[in-house]
A and B are shown apart, each in its own frame.
Chain A
């Protein structure tokens, strides 16, 4: 096991580090089997993982209001997701645009409710309790370097939402009660 404490933060990783252009992929909506299956671990250095990472970033960037996109949402059962909460009013700590492979939550504290939406559940939003202080470990696509991200607030929420996608869970599986989903009125 590598000493992940030594890998805190993204270092100099950016989407440009992937060295391949991303292709925008179609996003699948629930109900769809791929959204409800636990995804497989990936080799973060494999060419197909690097391409998937670039595609997730490209698809996220052309999708208005999208702050995160996981591989199952483009129909691929792989534990890979992209996140970018830059500029979001509820974001505190912001790591910019990044992609993580095989990510897992290692510390989750200070649980707070908040409203979530999802590109794969386009008509609904829901109230979900998430940790507002979060430590996540994963691997960077391309180099395969292990990273440990310490974050909070909206970025922490986005990470938990995407890690859930990789486990085959939607926000619908975590809503707080019988009246905690809402018809979406504003399309961001």
Chain B
């Protein structure tokens, strides 16, 4: 079974999801994990599919990308299965004035502590830049990591908090 990593991005309009999903369904490509969202007026789809060969999917998506409004990429990937968690789940929130390098600097501090970012979103509204990251941390590093995050945030002139992710399940 082929596993494919597909991205589609373009100026948002009604019907992008339906158009792309239809192409994939016609080819017998099974849509597994995906995120599809609007980012500042662009619609971005990142998805993993199983089924046909990459070239076949690329050719089929060409009908949608021909006008130049959508950009699609298709890559065969190795089905590695789920990665075991790297530790305890935390949420890092960063906010402050927008400037270059906030995500780069803050995530570098996480990586240097052995953390693995599993989900991240950023949002710019007016002057306010917000970064929310879910990160798995090795046991026992959180306290010293908080100090390092505060130091880096202070250099950037932004605020940071690191909290354990809510473990509650319904």
Contact = CB atoms under 8 A, between A and B. Distances in A.
Interface size, A (range): 20 to 34
Contacts, number: 62
B63 interface: no
B126 interface: yes
Contact of A172 (B130, B133, B165, B166): B130
Nearest to A113: B166
B91 A31 contact: no
Interface string A156-170: 000000000000011
A129 B93 contact: no
Contact of B128 (A121, A169, A173, A177): A121
Contacts of B128: 29-31, 121, 123-124
Given A30-B95, A31-B95, A177 B165 contact: yes
26 contacts: A29-B126, A29-B127, A29-B128, A30-B95, A31-B97, A31-B127, A31-B129, A123-B125, A124-B125, A124-B130, A172-B93, A172-B95, A172-B130, A173-B93, A173-B95, A174-B163, A175-B132, A177-B119, A177-B132, A177-B165, A178-B91, A178-B121, A178-B132, A178-B134, A179-B119, A180-B132
A183 B17 CA distance: 21
B58 interface: no
Contact of A177 (B127, B129, B134, B158): B134
